């Protein structure tokens, strides 16, 4: 039998280990939400791309549906800008404010294998992430609902396949 003890060589040791652990759990939960939102945004983009292609190529489809697809693409781009920031400006070395996903990554990186206490900057950044995520989530929910309605309209038009069609394949 043996007991493992830390070597106590911390530059800034935490006085409250429980608070650090609680903060890490909060960051982990927010990270789970943001990752799920990011994945849902990617899936919705793929679905929207397929629906737009179907509208453009399937014979006899009302092209007014293309206008709805365009509006949805603009909403998707707005959601993407919220979660990832302005990637175009960033690629041209223009300073941009950090997106909430990058703020969350900064917090996670700072906490990685750290035994120091939680800084007020980390707490502030997490509060900003949570607030911006909630705003993002409202827009993302609207996007998903509108995409589902467009998909239903495409079903009514008789388009044979879109990405969500597999959910109802036994009915067809």
Mean pLDDT of 135-148: 96
pLDDT at 118: 87
DSSP, collapsed to helix, strand or coil, labels residue 13 as strand
- Give per-residue pLDDT as tens, 74-95: 999 999 999 999 888 888 888 8
CA torsion sign for 123, 128, 129, 135 is positive
What span, in angstroms and rounded, lies between the C-alpha atoms of 81 and 2?
52
Beta-carbon contacts of 155 under 8 Å, excluding residues fewer than 6 positions away, are 162, 165
- Give per-residue pLDDT as tens, 26-58: 999 999 999 999 999 999 999 999 999 989 988
Q: Is 19 left (phi over 0), alpha (psi -120 to 50) or beta?
A: alpha
Beta-carbon contacts of 14 under 8 Å, excluding residues fewer than 6 positions away, are 20, 115, 116, 117, 118
Query: In whole numbers, what is the pLDDT of the chain averaged over residues?
Result: 87
pLDDT at 89: 85
Report residue 166: phi and psi, to 5°. -65, -20
Is the pLDDT at 167 greater than 60? The verdict is no
Please name every residue paired with 116 in a beta bridge, in sequence order, or none if there are none.
13
pLDDT at 135: 97
């Amino acid at each position: 039998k043996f007991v493992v003890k830390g070597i106590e060589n911390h530059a800034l040791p935490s006085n409250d280990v429980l608070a650090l652990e609680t903060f890490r759990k909060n960051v982990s939960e927010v990270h789970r939400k943001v990752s799920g939102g990011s994945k849902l945004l990617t899936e919705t983009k793929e679905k929207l791309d397929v629906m737009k292609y179907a509208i453009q190529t399937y014979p006899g489809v009302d092209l007014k549906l293309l206008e709805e697809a365009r509006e949805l693409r603009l909403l998707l781009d707005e959601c993407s800008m919220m979660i990832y920031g302005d990637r175009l400006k960033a690629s041209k070395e223009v300073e941009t404010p950090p997106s909430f996903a990058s703020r969350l990554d900064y917090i996670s990186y700072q906490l990685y294998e750290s035994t120091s206490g939680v800084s007020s900057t980390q707490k502030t950044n997490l509060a900003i992430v949570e607030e911006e995520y909630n705003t993002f989530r409202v827009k993302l929910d609207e996007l998903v609902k509108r995409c589902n309605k467009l998909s239903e309209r495409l079903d009514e038009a008789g388009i044979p396949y879109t990405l969500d069609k597999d959910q109802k394949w036994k009915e067809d």
